A = this chain, B = another copy of it.
Amino acid sequence: MTVTTPRGFRAAGVAAGLKSSGKPDVALVVNDGPSDVAAAVFTTNRCKANPVLWSEQVMADRSARAVVLNSGGANCYTGPAGFQTTHASAELVAQQLGFGAIDVVVCSTGLIGETLDRDALNAGIEAAAAKLSADGGVSAAEAIMTTDTHSKQVVREGRGYTIGGMAKGAGMLAPALATMLVVVTTDAAIDAETADRALRTATRETFDRLDSDGCMSTNDTVLLMCSGASGETPDADEFTSLLTEACHDLAQQLLRDAEGSEHDIEIQVVNAATEDDALVVGRAIARSNLFKTAVYGKDPNWGRILAAVGTTDAVFEPSALDVAFNGVWICRGGEPGEPRDTVDLSGREVTVTVDLKAGRQSATIWTNDLTHAYVHENSAYST
């Protein structure tokens, strides 16, 4: 049920002492082929971490043989010495496994602005390389956890091929800017172009629509590795659809594991003039602290939603807007609709629907509420 479920992959997770807790913190996933096709999507933050700067170079030829991931330190804003640590870790993986460093993606997560212990990381890499196995996916998934309360893994079966995946990131409460690391594997035999397109489509409709606290990470990485070991070449659309399903599953696991959050909020924007309009409106709502604190207080405060919608340049008429909480239309035409006390927000799942009445497009954004625990965790994390 993990990255080693598809054929052609080995993995391992070990404790290298990067985490003060002594928990596993170095993971390695290796693609034994026959194909080394890979695709990746990285954070769009311009101030990127060293592993992202390195991995962007690795992915220039759309191939990769392995990925090494560590928790316990983001290796971000650590300058040339930090980049050398990343490079050295790729070199060591390559040396252990007998290929080139330029085929090794590196991912890191943890505190930013602090030096990553190169010796400890290297020792971890050697231990992980020695422990690699076709059953190692679960231990790899555990080694990338930070404030996650459990590991996130997924498997989807296609016709003659399999997709597996693991992810870390505990939604809005994840540390160090909620870094999200995702590794997806498949034994489908697909070309680099198809892999790239499929991954971009899948992330655009899943991870990109998870907006936990509006902050953009420095280390976010989503990597797809394709071994081709099944010998099966699926239809591109079918593969994209299954990959999107797998990514959606992982994204929902991330959302639900936002520790301290009390609500998972699905914001549906419907009848927009364009999909972009729907997304812009959904994100504006998801980033309103006043809306998010209201949900925490179990208050179906539709006024704060209209105020957030009003900050966008989407096509709509203010006096035409309808808003529902959990299916109850408590705002109709920009005014009070059904009585707000008919809305029950005591459950974890909250659905907000905003009808722009401006067209036929729609989009969904997922977020969490803004709670005391968020403030606590993020004010105390590095002190």
Contact = CB atoms under 8 A, between A and B. Distances in A.
Nearest to A213: B289
Contacts of A234: none
A356 to B, nearest CB: 12
A177 B335 contact: no
A375 B303 CA distance: 18
A252 to B, nearest CB: 22
- Which residue among A293, A307, A309 has the maximum number of chain B CB atoms within 10 Å of its CB? A307
Interface string A300-343: 01111011111110001011010000000001011110000000
Given A288-B215, A311-B216, A334-B79, A378 B294 contact: yes
A1 interface: no
Contacts of A304: 112, 177, 215
Interface in A267-312: 287-290, 293-294, 296-299, 301-304, 306-312
A20 interface: no
A307 B372 contact: no
B47 A294 contact: no
Contacts of A42: none
Contacts of A78: 335-336
Given A334-B79, A375-B293, A310 B383 contact: no
Number of chain copies forming the complex: 2
Contact of A113 (B296, B303, B318, B380): B303
A177 B378 contact: no
Contacts of A112: 303-304, 306-307
B215 A299 contact: no
Interface in A351-383: 370-372, 374-376, 378-383
A374 B298 CA distance: 16
A70 to B, nearest CB: 17
Contact of A299 (B177, B294, B316, B379): B379
Contacts of A375: 293, 296, 370-372, 374-375
Interface residues of A, number: 63
A86 interface: no
A194 to B, nearest CB: 31
A298 B383 contact: yes
Nearest to A113: B303
A78 B45 CA distance: 41
A310 B215 contact: no
A227 to B, nearest CB: 34
A217 interface: yes
Nearest to A314: B46
A214 B303 contact: no
A102 interface: no
Contacts of A294: 378-379, 382
A379 B291 CA distance: 9
25 contacts: A46-B310, A46-B316, A77-B302, A77-B335, A78-B336, A111-B303, A112-B307, A113-B302, A176-B303, A213-B290, A214-B289, A218-B303, A218-B306, A218-B310, A293-B378, A294-B379, A294-B382, A297-B378, A297-B381, A298-B383, A299-B381, A371-B375, A372-B375, A374-B375, A375-B375
Q: Which 9 A-B pairs have the closest CB atoms?
A: A47-B310, A297-B379, A112-B303, A79-B335, A293-B378, A113-B303, A45-B310, A46-B310, A293-B379
Interface of A: 45-48, 76-79, 82, 111-114, 176-177, 213-218, 287-290, 293-294, 296-299, 301-304, 306-312, 316, 318-319, 321, 331, 333-336, 370-372, 374-376, 378-383
